[in-house]
Amino acid sequence: MLTAMPQPRSAWRSAAGPILVVDDDAKIVQLVRTYLEREGFAVTSAYTGREALETFREQPPALIVLDLMLPEMDGIAVCRQVRETSDVPVLMLSARSAVADRIRGMEEGADDYLPKPFSPAELVVRVKAILRRSAERRGTDTLRLPTTETILRHADLTLDLERHEARRGEQLLTLTHVEFRLLATLLAVDGRVLSRDQLLDAIYGTDDAEILDRTIDVHIGRLRDKLGDDAERPRYVATVRGVGYRAAPADR
């Protein structure tokens, strides 16, 4: 008896763009493409860092699967340039599984990290999870903040939750969704201290141990850089050692 082949799941076709798969190994690119296309994703590909950036600019993707070790320009450099103009989710791949490499990828803006060799089925699950979190963050009710305000203010910072805009004085800040969500969460709780687990839950909707323990610290560091904040004398985000983070006292 003949069995009908399963059809691709069309629910994922509504994503903002294709999945860009970047790896210098053509076999890996084809393997990932096959698994993603089975799930209904459109896929584009690139084999070098420079080609990845060209493809990214010509056809903005919904997510990038990005190998760390690439010819011409490595994945860290690619991720850094992508982050200058976009908050598109990035899933980084690498045969180097050292924690330092994972942290470095997160510091440059990667959303998740998968060491090689990997299961293609797990990669698909992670892609779906990242896209789901990204879609939830873009929704009007995703921040789940304990406030009915749509404008949050602290010192010279202004966050417009409806427009998803952050300003320092008159300067428009370029924050990723994670950074915006993190800052909004801290400002919305009236100076209360939030643990890393609480912030993970607010940002990702989970405190899953699969997410690196230092993820929040990495995002806080990147956020401080963009705010021009000093960790020793903070104006915006203060560290409470051994506990977590809070909005800095407004009189600083």
Residue 161 pLDDT? 86
27, pLDDT greater than 90:
yes
**How far apart, in whole angstroms, are the C-alpha atoms of residue 35 and residue 95?**
20
Listed residue (13, 7, 248, 23) closest to 120, CA to CA: 23
Mean pLDDT of the chain, nearest integer = 81
pLDDT 10s digits, 173-199? 988 777 888 899 999 888 899 988 888
- Three-state DSSP at 251 gives coil
Domains, the chain, in order of start with CATH, read 10-138 (3.40.50.2300), 151-247 (1.10.10.10)
| pLDDT-based confidence at residue 157 (cuts at 50, 70, 90) | very high
209, pLDDT greater than 90:
no
Question: Cα(first)–Cα(last) distance of the chain, in Å?
Answer: 75
- Three-state DSSP at 246 gives strand
Residue 100 pLDDT? 66
| pLDDT-based confidence at residue 31 (cuts at 50, 70, 90) | very high
Q: Are 159 and 183 in contact (CB under 8 A)?
A: yes
